[in-house]
Amino acid sequence: MTSPATDRATDAPRVRRFTPRAVLLNVALLIGLAASIGPLVWMVLSSVKPEGEIRQFPPTLIPDQVTWANYTELFATLSFPRYFLNSVVVALFVTVGSVLFSAMVGYALAKLDFPGKRMLFALVMGTLMVPGMVTFVPLFVLVANLDLINTYAALILPFLAAPFGVFLMRQFMLDVPDELLDAARVDGAGEFRTFFRIVLPQARPALATLGILTFLGSWNNFLWPLVAVQSADRYTLPVALALYSTGQNTVQYGLLVAGATVIVLPILIVFLVLQRHIVQGISTTGLK
Amino acid sequence: MRRSSARRRRTGLTAWGFALPFTALFAVFMLLPVVSSLYMAFTDMRGADLRTTWAVNFVGFDNFVEVLADPKFQQAAGNTIYFVGVAMPLTLGIALLLAVLLNSGLVWFRSVFRVGFYAPVVTSIVAVAVVWRFLLQPDFGLVNSALGVVGIDGPRWLTDEAWAMPSLIVMATWRNVGYLMVILLAGLQGIPRDVYEASAIDGAGPVRQFRSITVPLLRPTLLFCAVITGIGYLQFFEEPFVMTQGGPLGATNSVAYEIFNQFGFGNYGLSAAMSYVLFVAIVILSYLQFRLLRTEK
């Protein structure tokens, strides 16, 4: 019964105050907010303007004339359905695979004993900070020799071994109580059964956080898909948009912002729905 | 005794069952490339050697000598230092300011601001780079139109040697501020309120509190933010790729972009050597940040 009172006590300084200082501060932050989301709002609004209106001076904020022509061209003429599908397939496989594998090895590293465990953990930690920029050339040579260029496998497999995911999962699994595992084992459950029935459900928050981060990373990934894929039917959305925007064709801004919207808007909507999860996940993983 | 060693062997096997899928992929797609990039950096491997990677010549440090003496690489390195040197403090500073303001208790709709400032973080760099190219378009872009209203004749941002890099810096800052802000906000919430209250009783004003309480107690979080941002910014690539193609006259060419270009020309050995130079730069920067920001014992 004391909790509502203490809640109010800690929240007290956050009660809306209309002092001049507070008004000034909030107005300043509102301007900052406009700068932060303005470009994204502008992107969405411009994507439904005809090219003529886009090139008009001074620019219009709200479209005078709403047209779907940019989207029609993207989806009917420019194979964007294909690129969208490629992005979705790759992101889903990468997310499910890497989260599952990370959870499995994270569990083994945290709760089980096996020869080579310390060595494996050291290697994972050692590669945690190795950036994609350092490995993409030899990775390309490897993938070419495995005859995987232009395949989904090339886009997916390298991302199933994510040191960051392993690190995160191990940290989380360390906190799973041993008593819980022992109880399952006493009841005669095998290690795999224990893992799937007891450990994974316990780890749901960590799995969700890692899953969201992995999906985002894959959806927005650019360098590796650009390198690993040369035929258009395997392009992911960012590769298609980047190559189209830097190609020889005359720049059609309406088409470009519509393409950008196709990449950004679904993620933005998911973000708004899951924002509590994402922001909390970021703050906790960031601090570990 | 025998029972327990048999049991240990059995759990060892099951444990490897858990570890195997990751470990196999990790060995092939991470460890092998890391090791072979070191090998490649010391050979004259080119695109034509793709299928015969062992039939190349060992050239010692030639690649590294060539890279470091190459004026294009030197320019790219200078640009990268410029980008990191300006964008990193700028991003950290704005993120810290926003986090402190949002944590001050005077803000009306805190979660709206938090979501709004974080939104750019989830966007694809390629997509927002396209959008910013449009915003910065000199004749009908939003930025120059707005400047025109107040009588300023805006520059040709992305094709002007002096303005191209600042444009990319502003865009990168815009996109990354929210990430650091959220992490710093979590760090700030970990500082007990009574520390501030006690110092207020002792007569400390907000500036004094910020310098004597917030910054020291936030050091580990600031360090994390600085390292993560430094690693990310040292590899900046998508922004020049989409917005300027490294131009005008190489003014926005980055080390990462140069690595990509040399790879495109088929100079694999050279490209691998460059990525090692970049990697060493990342390690040095992270080390310096640790020295600068670590908590004194």
Extract the tokens encoding B195: 């520390």
pLDDT score of A113 more than 60: yes
B164 token code pair? 């191209």
What's the CA gap between B69 and B239, in Å, rounded?
26
User: Smallest Cβ distance to B275: which of A104, A127, A134?
Assistant: A134
Contact B114 A237 (CB under 8 A): no
Bridge-partner residues for B43, per DSSP?
B58
Of A215-229, B113-127, B138-152, the least confident = B138-152
Kindly give the interhelix angle for B164-189 and B110-118, rounded to the nearest 10 degrees. 140
Residues of chain B with C-beta less than 8 angstroms from the C-beta of A16 = 108
Instruction: Tally C-beta pairs within 8 A across A and B.
Output: 307
Name residue B105's amino acid.
Answer: G
> In chain A, what percentage of residues exceed pLDDT 90?
53
C-alpha to C-alpha distances, B42 to B29, B55, B57, B259, B277, nearest whole angstrom = 21, 13, 9, 15, 13
Chain A CB contacts of B116 below 8 Å: 33, 36-37
Taking an 8 Å cut-off on Cβ atoms, the answer to whether B32 and A142 are in contact is yes
Whether A270 has a pLDDT exceeding 60, the answer reads: yes
Q: Is the CB of residue A269 less than 8 Å away from at least one CB of chain B? A: no
CB distance A178 to A111 below 8 Å: yes
Taking the Cβ of residue A43 and every Cβ of chain B, the question of whether any pair is shorter than 8 Å is answered with yes
Q: Are B244 and B158 in contact (CB under 8 A)?
A: yes
CA distance A108 to A87: 31
In eight-state DSSP terms, residue B43 is: B
* B280 touches A at CB < 8 Å: no
DSSP letter string, A4-52: HHHHHHHHGGGS----HHHHHHHHHHHHHHHHHHHHHHHHHHHTTS-HH
CATH of residue B203's domain is 1.10.3720.10
Can you tell me the distance from the alpha carbon of B169 to that of B281, in angstroms, rounded to the nearest whole number? Answer: 19
Instruction: Note the pLDDT of residue B296.
Output: 55
CA distance B105 to chain A (A): 4
Helix crossing, B164-189 with A20-46: angle to 10°? 130
| More reliable by pLDDT, A15 or B95 | B95
Q: Which residues of B touch A261 (CB under 8 A)?
A: 127
Q: A-contacting residues of B 92-131, CB under 8 Å? A: 98, 101-102, 104-108, 110, 112-120, 122-128, 130-131
> pTM for the full model?
0.90
The residue of chain B nearest to residue A144, with distances taken between CA atoms, is B50
Same domain, B150 and B23: no
Residues of chain B neighbouring A101 (CB-CB closer than 8 A): 21-22, 25
Question: Which of A32, A220, A253 lies closest to B134 in CB terms?
Answer: A253
- The pLDDT of residue A284 is above 80: no
Q: Looking at CA atoms only, how far is residue A1 from chain B in angstroms?
A: 23
Phi, psi of A233 (to 5 degrees): -75, -5
- The 10 Å CB-count burial string (b at 16+, else e) for B169-193 is bbbbbbbbbbbbbbbbbbbbeebee
What are A179-238's pLDDT values in tens digits? Answer: 888 888 888 878 888 899 889 998 888 898 899 889 999 999 999 999 999 999 999 999
What digits encode the pLDDT tens for the residues A69-91?
A: 999 999 988 899 999 999 999 99
CB contact under 8 A, B50 and A141: yes
Percent of chain B, pLDDT > 70? 96
A124 and B36 within 8 Å at the Cβ level: the answer is no
Contact by Cβ (8 Å): A234, A89: no
* Residue B231 at interface with chain A, using a CB cutoff of 8 Å: yes
What is the rounded CA–CA span in Å between residue B154 and residue B166?
14
pLDDT given at position B52: 79
Segment A40-56 mean pLDDT: 92
Does B105 share its domain with B20?
Answer: no
Contacts of A133 in chain B (CB under 8 A): 235, 237, 256, 259, 275, 278-279
Of B13, B29, B117, the CB nearest to A158: B29
Q: Are B239 and B168 in contact (CB under 8 A)?
A: yes
Q: Write the residue in A36, A101, A241 that is nearest to B21 by C-beta.
A: A101
Local structure of residue B118 (DSSP, 8 states): H
Residue B15 is assigned to a structural domain of this protein: yes
Output the CA torsion sign for B111, B112, B117, B123.
positive
Mean pLDDT estimate for chain A: 87
Mark whether B36 and B70 lie in a shared domain: no
Domain boundaries, chain A: 89-173+199-250
**Is B47 part of the contact surface with chain A (CB cutoff 8 Å)?**
no
For chain B, how many structural domains are there in total? 2
- Asked whether the beta carbons of B222 and B245 are under 8 A apart, the reply is no
* Between A59 and A145, the higher pLDDT residue: A145
pLDDT number for residue A286: 53
What residues have CB less than 8 Å from A180, skipping those under 6 apart? A198, A202
User: Residue A102, Cβ neighbours under 10 Å: how many?
Assistant: 28
Q: For B96, how many CA atoms within 13 A lie in the half-sphere containing its CB? A: 18
Q: Are residues B35 and B70 in the same domain?
A: no
When pLDDT is cut at 50, 70 and 90, the band that residue B204 belongs to is confident
Count CB neighbours of B219 within 10 A.
16
Chain A CB contacts of B183 below 8 Å: 282-283, 286-287
Angle at which helix B268-293 crosses helix B71-102, to 10 degrees, equals 40
CA B69 – CA B91 distance, rounded (Å)? 32
Quick one: B37 and B72 in the same domain? no
Check whether residue B21 and residue B100 sit in a common domain. no
Query: Can you tell me the distance from the alpha carbon of B267 to that of B259, in angstroms, rounded to the nearest whole number?
Result: 9
Q: Is there a domain that residue B47 lies in?
A: no
Confidence of residue B5 (pLDDT cuts 50, 70, 90): low
In chain A, which among 207-236 make CB contacts under 8 A with chain B? 216, 219-220, 222-223, 227
What pLDDT digit, counting tens, does each position of A1-11 carry? 333 333 334 44
Domain around B29: 2-41
Separation of alpha carbons B113 and B136, rounded Å:
25
Asked if residues B218 and B187 have their Cβ atoms less than 8 Å apart, the reply is: yes
Q: Which two tokens stand for residue B176?
A: 């990354």
Instruction: Tell whether B59 is covered by a domain.
Output: no
Inside any domain, residue B185? yes
| Residue A67 backbone zone (phi > 0: left; psi -120 to 50: alpha; other: beta) | beta
Of chain A, the end-to-end C-alpha distance in Å amounts to 33
Same structural domain, B182 and B287: yes
- Does residue B282 belong to any structural domain of this protein? yes
**Quick check: A124 and B226 in contact, CB under 8 A?**
no
Task: Say whether domain A89-173+199-250 belongs to CATH 1.10.3720.10.
Answer: yes
A195 vs B contacts (CB less than 8 Å): 18
Q: Is B60 left (phi over 0), alpha (psi -120 to 50) or beta?
A: left
Q: Which of B19, B145, B256 sits opposite A114 (nearest CB)?
A: B19
pLDDT band of B2, cuts 50, 70, 90: very low
Give the other-Cβ count within 10 Å of B54's Cβ: 8
**Same domain as B171, residue B35:** no
Rounded to whole angstroms, how far apart are CA atoms B189 and A59?
Answer: 43
Residue B188 CB partners (closer than 8 Å, separation 6+): B99, B100, B103, B214, B218
Whether residue B46 is contained in a domain is answered as: no
**Do B131 and B95 share a structural domain?**
yes
Q: Which residue of A has its CA nearest to B172?
A: A36
Say yes or no for a CB contact (<8 Å) between B123 and A264.
yes
Question: Quick one: CA torsion of B46, B50, B56, B60, rounded to 10 degrees?
Answer: 50
**DSSP H or E stretch at residue B24:** helix B2-26
Q: What is the share, in percent, of chain A residues with pLDDT greater than 70?
A: 92
B277 part of contact set with chain A, CB < 8 Å: no
